[in-house]
Each structure stands twice: as C-alpha cells, then as structure tokens.
Amino acid sequence: MSDKLLISPRLSNEDLLPEKDQKWGWYSIFAFWMSDVHSVGGYVFAASLFALGLNGIQVFISLLAGISIVLLFANLMGKPGQKSGAPFPIIARMAFGVFGANIPAIIRGLIAVVWYGIQTYLASSAFIILILYFFPSAASLADASFLGLSYLGWVGFTSMWVLQAIIFMFGMDMIRKVIDWSGPAIYIAMFALCIYLVNLAGWDNISFNLSSQKLIGWDAITQMIIATCLVAGYFAGPTLNFSDFSRYCVSYKQLKVGNLLGLPVNFIIFSLFSVLIVSASIPVFGEMITDPVETVKRLDSGLITILGALTFIFATVGINIVANFVAPAFDFSNVAPQKISFKAGGFIAAFGSVLLTPWNLFNNPEVIHYTVDVLAAMIGPLYGIIIVDYYFIKKGKIDIDSLYTESPKGIYWYQNGFNMKSIYALLIAGLLAVYATFFIDGLANYAIFIGGFTAAFVYRVLMTKERNEAISVSASLAEQS
C-alpha cells in the first residue's frame, strides 16, 4: 500500500487482505462445484421439479438450461476475485463503497444462515439412517419431539453441526481437501444406487414420464421456463460470492475450465443419475421417491444403505461448508474486521441456523420453491449492480489500494464510504422483486431476473457521469501512450 492510501484496520484483517498464494487449479474449482451440486438438497431440489408437472426429459432440459445460466454468471462473478485475490465483500466495495459493501455482505450472510441450517438438517437425515442401522433401539428417541424435531432428529442434527464445525476450525486448507474428495465421492453412491435400482426394476419398467399430468405446448414451455429460473435461483447464493473461492485460483483460464467441467458437464451427469434413480423408484417401491435418503432407507442391501448414507452425509457437509460457512465467515468479518475473524463469522452463521429450525422450512416442494424465490428476490439486484459496475463502469479495472483505505482519495470512498447510487438501485430493484414475489401471480419464479435486470438498468443510468469520466480517462491514457 502507498503512503497516501494507508490500510484501515476498520476495513481489513488477515483473512480479508488479497490472497497472495493463488495455487488452486481447475480441479479445485471443479471439485468446488461438485460439492455444490452433489448434495441431498441438490438431489431433492432437482427431483422436486416433477411437482411442476414436467416429465423426465423436460426436467433434464430445464436443469441444463438453468445450469448454463449459472455458468455464465459464475464466470462473470469469479473474474474480479481471481484478478484481485479478494473475497466477495471486498469486491462489493467497488460498487457500494468501502463501508456500503456491508449491505450486500449482510444480505449474502443471512442467506447463508438459512441454507446452512437446511443443509445440516438434510445431512442429519442420512446420519440417522446409520444410527438406526447399527443401533435399532434408538428408534424410541423418535417418539418425542422438541420444536418440531424428534429427539433422534436432534441427535443427528447436533452431530452434523459439530462435524462441520470441526472441519471449519482447521481453515481453508482443510476445507479445500474436503471439497476435493467429497464431491467425487457422491458418484460412488449414485452409481451404485442407480445400478442397484435399475437392476431391481428392470429397464423395461422404467418410465421417464413421472408427472401425474401431461403438459404439452405452451403449458409445458411455461413450466420449463419456471424450472430453469428455479435452478438459477437455487445456485444464486454460491455464485454471487464465488469470489470467495476464485480468489485462490492461479489464473482466469483455469477458473473457466473448472467452471465448465463443474457446472454443465458435471450437472448433466448428476442429473442423469438423479432422473434414473427417481424413475426406478416407482416400479421398485410402488411410488415416486424424490428424496435419496428415503430411497436408501428402504433398500434391503446393508452395503448400499451404509455406502449411500455415508456419501450423502459427506457430500452435503461439503456443500454446506463451501457455500454456507465460508460465505458468512467473510461477510460477517467484513462488518467488523478487528472484532470478527473469519472463523467467528462462520460460527455466527452456524449458531443462527439452529434458531431458524430449518426442518420446518424444508418439508415440501412448495416450500423449497418459495424459499428459493424469496432469496432470489433479495440477491438478484446484487448481481446486476456488481456486474454492471465492474464490466461497464470500471471497465474491469481494480484499484487494490482503494479497497482497504478510509482515505477520501480512494476511488471507492464515494460519500463517506457509501455509494448511494448503488444503494438506491438495490432498494428500487429489491422492492420490485419482493413485490412481484408476494403480490403478482406468476412472477415469483422470475424474482432473480426481475431484480437483477432492474438493478442493472437503474444503476447504469445513475452512474452515467462516472462511466463517462472513466471513458475519458481511458482515452487520455491511450493518447499519452
């Protein structure tokens, strides 16, 4: 840092400063997305799309279209983090100001709290299978409940909560090791489960028309568009703060390769396994089962049961740590860097997740979709503002010094550390998206796009003066050279 732009302790700590040892290659990014995709939550979410009335092929196409949108935004959101080595809340300072960035950081952090609880609960469901398999007498603990969760459920939830806390305590190196193998591990269970169920069902008895209703023409297209938007909304959280991980990547080229393999390629394979397993559950069990934990629970094979439960546990733990522990760790630390460390920020999210009683949020497809809609309405505008600011206003240029200083000479100081234009754009777009979600029938599923495009347009208009100034400066520098 230069003498004129001194590092402010109110804006930095060891975890928030630029990463100097960028050593992640394409595989680490690939493994990150595998951990994000390969979870009980991801499986249940994908399978729950059948509730829209779509058949297997239509669900598969919707998943592919949605994940392609996620790939686009992952590349866009990951570039500034890889280039600067800074995490998401620091990147947000470019658009919101060095103190204004606390607004998007808190929004993202609160979203992570919700999903941390949900994913921990889903992992605990798989853990309970193991408990009952080895200790059948523990079933008596399911007779009584507290806050809507049985005593057995509390044992499983607490166990998964502690396991994740232990992993997190060892820091980012341990987290990287976990995601490097937890994502691939799920393929072992998925492959074994798929082969086992298809063999039981018989290929001729498997149908990909899983919906009770048959949609054709515009009705089918409409539901497929909704499903595509839901996929984009489901991955909106980890994609928004992707800089938290792209900051460790050795190059942008490696980043894009990892994104390509981890998102569309990996998602195609995972979706094929998911659709096959759900389809095979009908002839095997006499009903469609969209929860892989329930599927494993009903199987007679002890080996498949244990293998499936273990891999679903660790795969879900993997996504929870990368998507919902790391994000609030940086986000809450950004609010008070000298008081809240990276680890303290993560534990704030972990404790908050218990208070939400996540088992009451994630109990049917309607709740899943509604939760995704509301969260997407909150973070869609952040995409629009940050992308427009970095690519169209700042022209891809980052002043590292200005990200960590309280000096009015820093270009991200704006007005006392706040860029009111980005805040206005966030409020306008956020209110519109939330209004559409709650009060306009048929628009709730498009909340992330309504908020995103509205914020992008409003912010672009409000920042016209700054954009013109940036163009003038670039032109002057070009003439001098």
Determine the pLDDT at residue 164.
Answer: 87
Q: Does residue 85 sit within a domain?
A: yes
* Residue 1 pLDDT greater than 50, yes or no: no
Residue of 311 and 341 predicted with greater confidence: 341
Count helices and strands in the chain by DSSP H and E runs: 22, 2
Residues 255-296 have pLDDT tens digits of 999 999 999 999 888 878 887 888 888 898 888 887 777 787
Whether the per-residue pLDDT at 478 is higher than 70: the answer is no
pLDDT tens-digit readout, 418-477: 999 999 999 999 999 989 888 887 787 788 899 999 999 999 999 988 777 766 655 554
Which tokens hold the place of 158? 């607490």
Across the range 43-59, mean pLDDT stands at 73
More confident call, 347 vs 98: 98
- For position 394, what pLDDT does the model report? 93
**Where is pLDDT greater, at 446 or 77?**
77
Angle at 165 between CA 159 and CA 170, to 5 degrees: 135
> Does 323 score more than 80 pLDDT?
no
Residue 191 clears pLDDT 50, i.e. is over it:
yes
Mean pLDDT across 69-95: 96
Q: Would you state the pLDDT for residue 249?
A: 95
The Cβ of residue 259 has, within 10 Å, a number of other Cβ atoms equal to 27
CB atoms near residue 79 (< 10 Å)? 21
* Residue 345 placed within a domain: yes
- As given in the structure block, the two tokens for residue 195 are 């082969």
Task: Report the distance separating Cα 18 and Cα 90, nearest Å.
Answer: 9
Check pLDDT > 50 for residue 2. no
Other C-beta atoms closer than 10 Å to the C-beta of 339 total 9
In whole angstroms, what is the distance from residue 307 CA to residue 392 CA?
A: 49
Domain hosting residue 237, numbered range: 26-380
For position 451, what pLDDT does the model report? Answer: 94
Q: Given pLDDT bands bounded at 50, 70 and 90, which one contains residue 210?
A: low
Whether residue 19 is contained in a domain is answered as no
Selection from 455, 448, 453, 63 nearest residue 272 by Cα: 63
Report d(CA 254, CA 196) in Å as an integer.
37
User: Quick one: pLDDT at residue 85?
Assistant: 96
* Residue 298 pLDDT: 82
> Given this model, what pLDDT does residue 306 score?
82
Q: Is the pLDDT of residue 68 over 90?
A: yes
Q: What is the pTM of this model?
A: 0.85
- φ, ψ of residue 145 to 5 degrees: the values are -140, 165
* Rounded Cα distance, 120 and 303, in Å: 24
| pLDDT at residue 372 in the model | 60
Domain-embedded: residue 93? yes
pLDDT value of residue 63: 84
- Between 229 and 83, residue with greater pLDDT: 83
More confident residue, 55 or 357: 357
* 372-418 confidence digits (pLDDT tens): 667 667 889 999 999 999 999 999 999 999 999 999 999 999 999 99
**Residues 142 and 128: beta-carbon distance below 8 Å:** no
Domain count for the chain, please give it: 1
Residue 69 maps to a domain = yes
- Residue of 37 and 96 predicted with greater confidence: 96
Span 338-351, average pLDDT? 88
> Taking 60 as the threshold, does the pLDDT of residue 346 lie above it?
yes
Q: Which residue has the higher pLDDT, 110 or 423?
A: 423
Q: What share of the chain in percent tops pLDDT 70?
A: 89
- Tell me whether residue 195 is in a domain: yes
The dihedrals phi and psi of 23, each to the nearest 5 degrees, come to: -125, 5
The DSSP code for 291 is: -
- The pLDDT value given to residue 319: 76
User: Does residue 307 carry a pLDDT above 70?
Assistant: yes
Stretch 142-154: mean pLDDT: 87
Residue 413 near residue 101 (C-beta atoms within 8 A): no
Residue 163 lies in a domain: yes
Which pLDDT score, from 0 to 100, does residue 331 have? 93
**Summary mean pLDDT of the chain:** 85
What's the CATH number where 350 sits? 1.10.4160.10
Domain membership of residue 304 (yes or no) is yes
Distances (CA, A) of 16 to 153, 179, 324, 331: 37, 22, 17, 10
- Reference 259, options 32, 11, 35; nearest CA is 32
More confident position, 154 or 361: 154
Highest averaged pLDDT of the listed ranges 97-101, 118-122, 181-185: 97-101
The burial of 68, by beta-carbon neighbours within 10 Å (0-12 exposed, 13-18 middle, 19 or more buried), is given as middle
